[in-house]
Amino acid sequence: RKRILITGGAGFVGSHLVDDLMIQGHEVIVVDNFFTGRKRNVAHWLGHENFELIHHDIVNPLFIEIDEIYHLASPASPPHYMYNPVKTIKTNTMGTINVLGLAKRVMAKVLIASTSEVYGDPTVHPQPETYWGHVNPIGPRACYDEGKRVSETLSYAYAKQEKVQVRVARIFNTYGPRMHMNDGRVVSNFILQALRNETITVYGNGRQTRSFQYVSDLVDGMIALMASNYTQPVNLGNPVEQSIEDFAQIIKQLVGGPSMIKQTKAVEDDPQRRKPDITRARHYLKWEPKVPLEKGLRQTISYFRNELARSD
Amino acid sequence: RKRILITGGAGFVGSHLVDDLMIQGHEVIVVDNFFTGRKRNVAHWLGHENFELIHHDIVNPLFIEIDEIYHLASPASPPHYMYNPVKTIKTNTMGTINVLGLAKRVMAKVLIASTSEVYGDPTVHPQPETYWGHVNPIGPRACYDEGKRVSETLSYAYAKQEKVQVRVARIFNTYGPRMHMNDGRVVSNFILQALRNETITVYGNGRQTRSFQYVSDLVDGMIALMASNYTQPVNLGNPVEQSIEDFAQIIKQLVGGPSMIKQTKAVEDDPQRRKPDITRARHYLKWEPKVPLEKGLRQTISYFRNELARSD
Ligand SMILES: NC(=O)c1ccc[n+]([C@@H]2O[C@H](COP(=O)([O-])OP(=O)(O)OC[C@H]3O[C@@H](n4cnc5c(N)ncnc54)[C@H](O)[C@@H]3O)[C@@H](O)[C@H]2O)c1
Ligand SMILES: NC(=O)c1ccc[n+]([C@@H]2O[C@H](COP(=O)([O-])OP(=O)(O)OC[C@H]3O[C@@H](n4cnc5c(N)ncnc54)[C@H](O)[C@@H]3O)[C@@H](O)[C@H]2O)c1
Ligand SMILES: O=c1ccn([C@@H]2O[C@H](COP(=O)(O)OP(=O)(O)O)[C@@H](O)[C@H]2O)c(=O)[nH]1
Ligand SMILES: O=c1ccn([C@@H]2O[C@H](COP(=O)(O)OP(=O)(O)O)[C@@H](O)[C@H]2O)c(=O)[nH]1
Ligand SMILES: O=c1ccn([C@@H]2O[C@H](COP(=O)(O)OP(=O)(O)O)[C@@H](O)[C@H]2O)c(=O)[nH]1
Ligand SMILES: O=c1ccn([C@@H]2O[C@H](COP(=O)(O)OP(=O)(O)O)[C@@H](O)[C@H]2O)c(=O)[nH]1
């Protein structure tokens, strides 16, 4: 039984990780500033003797005693991270420095939630971890992309210099219950639009691709990575690639209803193709995604339906 | 007459900038932690009523009242920045955040000393400012390269969000008097080796290239950039490209003496070609380098000769 800190644990991915680690019997401490997370995501654990929720912003130092850290604190969707770019960079630089400083002091293992965005708009396809990426350092997505890149750089600098044990998960697009309804991302937009019988908005020509992973697969991968001895970055994502156009069709069919699909203005620096090469994860973690898209989407659609009903 | 802060002003480039701005009659405040800089570089101004030297580490907040900031604080040569990678990243993230926070509060204009290393090992040649770069986020040079990239990202985030006026100079290899004798870079290594009649060490096959700019040209460019209305990044470098092999020959000839030139082991992630496209600087700043390589090298060699004599 370990004492495990999850920064950003009140968010979408973090709260599922909390569930798994609590069920495994660990002591779990969540640190969150509730920028994009909410208490409700972990409300079912409040009052449990193994659970603690700390309202704290990770850009400020944090002094607690723990064995492992999952460092997820950071806005994740473009509208959220572009809302306050300066804060996004501070969270991913100063926040990561504090987490690594804490890990160094208490000799905790740290898993950093990095992202496929470190590859930017990739020129290599699919993306292996050895690919250096293609990122605009001063573009609209840079606060997140460069923030995450330097947070990886920091991790390996602390690993080499201070012997901190780090694990780096490069997470690809993930969806599932508790994802934000209004984060402007494709999964939530399309499901909401379909549920509300509104037009489904495809940005640009819809030929850009993404690969969508269900959140339980990601959580399994993160726990496997933390437990493993492998220290280089590992892609965690579902290699089944989808064009956004096709994805719109799939959502429309699963939800049913009369929504039209319409192309609208393309967004700046939108990565054109994204698909993880998961050879490393398969080999070193014996991990691969298990949940088929349709099954995962059905769960997510039903979550959204309930949420909409609640708010009515 | 302005009050001008120069972070890293006791270093090689900074101290030349101090000279120019003092001669122009400004009030100059230098902030330096003397990691790679030294008091001697600005000793000739100590006691002058327009000059102040503050011993301060820029990773800590700084509260002073100024009109302009040249932000140069950061180790610059590979051996220096790899000496303590964690500190290098802290300086370029937390240090830059403090400088931008200061600029925001006092509404000062800021020029950020960025670097050609944001292009990494470029696949485009010569490098225009629109090139996104090719950087290994977890390689041995990453602490510097990614640190500088995110420091650019921060600058434009503060510019957009907080209306801070920023200028970004992407500086290419620069040499001249007061450069470090023992920083392990090619100019200092080759000159010292030649002066000491030792073997001149070319790393790898010597076909990799660099473009060397004399420090007075750089200082002119930085002052012109600060004065201009142009807010996008600007390359400041000399477009005359040299293979390292040829460069060794040139130094050998200028110094004279019996040194042999020998190829040794290549270094990891060594950029293979580097040459600035200075169209922007020519157009927006009416700037271009003036000092020919041979002239600049003679000044530098004579500086090194004196330094060696002093230390004997
Ligand atoms: N969901 C994805 O598709 C995806 C893809 C790649 C990477 N990731 C990464 O996974 C992590 C979790 O993402 P998510 O989808 O759960 O996003 P989320 O927004 O639901 O969760 C992030 C959590 O971090 C908290 N947070 C943000 N800034 C903070 C700060 N300064 N101090 C303390 N807490 C802070 C938020 O309140 C939220 O609870 C993030 O680091 C994200 O970059 C997610
Ligand atoms: N010289 C070049 O070829 C070159 C090329 C590209 C970019 N640059 C950039 O230009 C700037 C100056 O470079 P330089 O060649 O004069 O190097 P330098 O090492 O001589 O000067 C850097 C100065 O910053 C100071 N410093 C470092 N960390 C600090 C900290 N945390 N707080 C306060 N002061 C600190 C050092 O003591 C030194 O005086 C750097 O930002 C460098 O990255 C230089
Ligand atoms: O238990 C700890 C230990 C450190 N830190 C922070 O982590 C950062 C980086 O730590 P490091 O040891 O690298 O920095 P140092 O204390 O040496 O400046 C510092 O700003 C600390 O405030 C923290 O938040 N909790
Ligand atoms: O309503 C939407 C939202 C997103 N997208 C597209 O869907 C892809 C995924 O976008 P998202 O914001 O979900 O995540 P990203 O992978 O870009 O971070 C991108 O190509 C977007 O342009 C879309 O066509 N319509
Ligand atoms: O005169 C100043 C004003 C701010 N800062 C520092 O600059 C950083 C960023 O400033 P910002 O205004 O963005 O941060 P905030 O104070 O809003 O957290 C902060 O950590 C401050 O400590 C500083 O060193 N000098
Ligand atoms: O003694 C030396 C020092 C450097 N170099 C090469 O010279 C180039 C410039 O190296 P430097 O460290 O001066 O600066 P960089 O431009 O790589 O930051 C690189 O290709 C180095 O491998 C060399 O051949 N011999």
SS (HEC) of B267-307 = CCCCCCCCCECCHHHHHHHCCCCCCCHHHHHHHHHHHHHHH
Closest CA to A59 of A99, A19, A109: A99
| Contact between A97 and B90 using a beta-carbon 8 Å cutoff | yes
Question: What pLDDT is recorded for position B270?
Answer: 87
Cβ atoms of B138 and A153 closer than 8 Å:
yes
| Mean of pLDDT values over A43-60 | 98
Residues 6+ apart with CB under 8 A from A156: A166, A168, B138, B142
Q: Is the pLDDT confidence value at A311 over 90? A: no
In single-letter form, the type of residue at position A104 comes to: K
CB count, 10 Å around CB of A290? 12
pLDDT band at A94 (very low <50, low <70, confident <90, very high): very high
Cβ atoms of B200 and B252 closer than 8 Å:
yes
CA distance linking residue A197 with residue A228, whole number of Å = 46
Q: How far is A148 from chain B (nearest CA, A)?
A: 10
CA distance linking residue A39 with residue A19, whole number of Å = 14
Chain B contacts in chain A segment 103-122 (CB below 8 A): 118, 120
In single-letter form, the type of residue at position A80 comes to: H
pLDDT band at A312 (very low <50, low <70, confident <90, very high): confident
Per-residue pLDDT reduced to its tens digit, A165-178 = 999 999 999 999 99
CA distance linking residue B2 with residue B16, whole number of Å = 17
Active-site residue, from A70, A144, A175, A214: A144
Closest CA to B208 of B165, B242, B177, B166: B242
Residues 6+ apart with CB under 8 A from B166: B100, B103, B109, B110, B111, B112, B155, B156, B158, B159, B231
CA distance linking residue A185 with residue B183, whole number of Å = 48
Per-residue pLDDT of chain B (312 residues; tens, 9 = 90+): 999 999 999 999 999 999 999 999 999 999 999 999 999 999 999 999 999 999 999 999 999 999 999 999 999 999 999 999 999 999 999 999 999 999 999 999 999 999 999 999 999 999 999 999 999 999 999 999 999 999 999 999 999 999 999 999 999 999 999 999 988 899 999 999 999 999 999 999 999 999 999 999 999 999 999 999 999 999 999 999 999 999 999 999 999 989 999 999 999 888 899 999 999 999 999 999 999 999 999 999 999 999 999 887
| Contact between B149 and A153 using a beta-carbon 8 Å cutoff | no
| Contact between B146 and A153 using a beta-carbon 8 Å cutoff | yes
CA distance linking residue B284 with residue B165, whole number of Å = 17
Per-residue pLDDT reduced to its tens digit, A141-150 = 999 999 999 9
Per-residue pLDDT reduced to its tens digit, A251-271 = 999 999 899 999 999 988 888
Q: How far is the CA of A151 from the centre of ligand 4 (A)?
A: 24
In single-letter form, the type of residue at position A8 comes to: G
Q: How far is A251 from chain B (nearest CA, A)?
A: 35
Question: What pLDDT is recorded for position A257?
Answer: 87
Q: Which atom of ligand 2 is nearest to the CA of B116?
A: 6
Secondary structure, 3-state, chain B? CCEEEEECCCCHHHHHHHHHHHHCCCEEEEEECCCCCCHHHHHHHCCCCCEEEEECCCCCCCCCCCCEEEECCCCCCHHHHHHCHHHHHHHHHHHHHHHHHHHHHHCCEEEEEEEHHHHECCCCCCECCCCCCECCCCCCCHHHHHHHHHHHHHHHHHHHHHCCCEEEEEECCEECCCCCCCCCCHHHHHHHHHHCCCCEEEECCCCCEEECEEHHHHHHHHHHHHHCCCCCCEEECCCCEEEHHHHHHHHHHHHCCCCCEEEECCCCCCCCCCCECCHHHHHHHCCCCCCCHHHHHHHHHHHHHHHHHHHC
Q: Which pTM value belongs to this model?
A: 0.96
| Contact between A86 and B156 using a beta-carbon 8 Å cutoff | no
- Neighbour-count burial for A196-222, b at 16+ CB within 10 Å, e otherwise: eeeebbbeeebebbbbbbbbbbbbbbb
Looking at every residue in chain A, the average pLDDT score rounds to 97
Question: What pLDDT is recorded for position A153?
Answer: 98
State both tokens at A207: 């030929």
Closest CA to A147 of A69, A55, A230, A76: A76
Binding-site residues, ligand 3, Cβ < 6 A: A 61-63, 97-98, 101-102, 104-105; B 86
State both tokens at A267: 């967004």
> Does the C-beta of B208 come closer than 6 Å to ligand 6?
yes
Report the chain A residue with the minimal C-alpha distance to residue B123.
Answer: A134
CB count, 10 Å around CB of A254? 16
Length of chain A: 312
Phi, psi of A52 (to 5 degrees): -140, 140
Per-residue pLDDT reduced to its tens digit, A266-305 = 988 888 999 999 999 999 999 999 999 999 999 999 999 9
Phi, psi of B204 (to 5 degrees): 80, -155
With contacts defined as CB-CB under 8 Å, which chain A residues touch B97? 89-90, 93-94
CA distance linking residue A187 with residue B38, whole number of Å = 56
Q: Which of B148, B153, B163 to mutate to test the interface with A (most CBs of A within 10 A)?
A: B153
